[in-house]
Amino acid sequence: MLEAQLKTPIWCPACNAIYHGSPLAVPDREYNVGYLAHYAQCPDCGTLFQNPMPPFHQLADFYPPNYHAATAHGLLARARHNARLKQLTPLLNGDGALLDYGCGNGAFLTWAATKNLGRPLFGYEIADQREVQKLADGAVTIVRGKPADLLDSLPSCRLITMNHVIEHLPDPHETISALTRFLAPGGAIEGQTPAADSLERRVFKTRWSGYHAPRHTVVFSRAGLHKLFDRVGLNQPAISAAFNPAAIAVSLAACTRSPERPIRRAGLGWLWWLGCATLLAPIDLLSGASGIMNFRAIRQD
Ligand SMILES: [Zn+2]
């Protein structure tokens, strides 16, 4: 049955070009969740996407309780929040909410609530059941559930931030076009995501951390991300290289083990890989084909 699905023509989720071919199997090298993902590469824009795409209800099975995004805390987390808010501040001119799409436990928003941003702070995280939670004395609203559960209660937004989120969506075009309708004129969508057209992917092949298989559903190339934003009417997104040694550290660690020995993002071993990755990061940044990219797109009308 898998064979039959793999041969069916499909469309690139980024640029809508048609794809025929045999996708590449990529094992889970980080959590060993027991699902072998297959990735197709768009012949037009170079974006990678799972084929078959796992159904929405199956995605939750790919995130074990010790998943790294849920475990950041303490000083390091505060330093990360600070750096992230610094990057967002130039985009926070004018009325409208700040939406953190894929907010996890809402840690960034509850921290941001202490900075008096003078606007509603919303967060969204995927879940089976709809749940609305108020945090930071009501300053932060977290909506869990299906995307429609968020859109029902979302006000006009000045800024929608997606930090390592767009690559987890099964249908990014549908999500980004729905969110764009909530952007105030002059408002922006911004985020960070791995880049399929990277030096790091060429070097590490299926051990490249950007696959993060099977959790990454669509891994954009720079051209693919441009086309996606064009298709939703957000022209000329700005795309730039991002500094993210943790991504390189995962690629390096993946070279030393089989998928049966998952990579632990903690302890001395992890610090060693982070140190090596930090030394290599300038090559990645200066290559013109960084493994991680920042993007921002502004609604003009
Ligand atoms: Zn494409």
CATH number at residue 190: 3.40.50
C-alpha of residue 23 to centroid of ligand 1, in Å:
14
pLDDT at residue 2 tops 60: no
- Residue at 113 is within a domain: no
Rounded to the nearest whole angstrom, what is the distance from the C-alpha of residue 112 to the centroid of ligand 1? 36
pLDDT at site 294: 97
Pairing mode, if any, of strands 48-50 and 37-41? antiparallel
Ligand 1 centre distance from Cα of residue 21 (Å)? 14
Cα 97 from Cα 149, distance rounded (Å): 17
Q: pLDDT-based confidence at 226, cuts 50/70/90?
A: very high
| CA-based nearest residue to 267, from 119, 71, 3 | 71
Q: Quote the ligand 1 centre to 9 CA distance (angstroms).
A: 13
* Residue 271 and residue 246 in contact, taking contact as beta carbons nearer than 8 Å: no
Tokens of 121: 């702070």
Check residue 1 and give its pLDDT.
46
Q: Which amino acid is at 261?
A: R
Which residue is it, tokens 């490249």?
208
CA of 111 to the centre of ligand 1 (A): 37
Q: What pairing do the DSSP bridges indicate for beta strands 292-298 and 183-194?
A: antiparallel
103 found inside a domain: no
Question: In sequence order, what are the residues at sequence separation of 6 or more whose Cβ sits closer than 8 angstroms to the Cβ of residue 222?
Answer: 195, 197, 239, 293
Tokens of 137: 């004395």
Question: Are β-strands 218-219 and 48-50 bridged in parallel, bridged antiparallel, or unpaired?
Answer: antiparallel
Q: d(Cα 278, Cα 209) in Å, to the nearest integer?
A: 15
Give the count of domains, the chain: 1
* DSSP tally for the chain: helices H, then strands E: 10, 14
42 falls within a domain:
yes
Structural domain that includes position 90: 2-96+156-298
211: in domain: yes
Please list, in sequence order, all residues whose beta carbon lies within 8 angstroms of the beta carbon of residue 156, skipping any fewer than 6 positions away: 95, 96, 97, 182, 183, 184, 187
- Give percent of the chain with pLDDT exceeding 70: 95
**Residue 61 in domain:** yes
The edge-to-edge listing of strands for the beta sheet with 37-41 is 24-26, 37-41, 48-50, 218-219
* Ligand 1 centre distance from Cα of residue 132 (Å): 36
How many angstroms is it from 232 CA to the middle of ligand 1? Answer: 15
What is the 50 CA–ligand 1 centroid distance (Å)? 13
Cα of 259 vs centre of ligand 1, distance in Å, is 29
Distance 198 CA to ligand 1 centre (A): 16
- Residue pair 291/194 in contact by the 8 Å Cβ criterion: yes
Tell me the pLDDT band of 9, cut-offs 50, 70 and 90.
confident
105 in any annotated domain: no
**Domain assignment of residue 212, yes or no:** yes
Q: pLDDT at residue 3 above 60? A: no
Dist CA 158 CA 294 (whole Å): 18
Ligand 1 centre and the CA of 75: distance in Å? 40
Average pLDDT for residues 16-35, to the nearest whole number? Answer: 93
Ligand 1 centroid to residue 28 C-alpha, Å: 24
Average pLDDT, the chain: 92
Is residue 138 situated within a structural domain?
no
Whole-number Å distance, alpha carbon 44 to ligand 1 midpoint, is: 5
Average pLDDT of the segment spanning 155-184: 96
Asked if 109 and 123 count as a contact pair (C-beta separation under 8 A), the reply is yes
For residue 18, is it left (φ>0), alpha (ψ between -120 and 50) or beta? beta
Residue 70 pLDDT > 60, yes or no? no
Which residue is associated with the tokens 């609305």?
132
Cα-to-centroid distance, 18 and ligand 1 (Å): 8
Peptide bond before residue 13 is cis, with ω within 30 degrees of 0: no
Cα(12) to centroid of ligand 1, in Å? 5
Ligand 1 centroid to Cα of residue 100, in Å, is 26
CB of 193 within 8 A of CB of 293?
A: yes
Distance from the alpha carbon of residue 109 to the mean position of ligand 1, in angstroms: 33
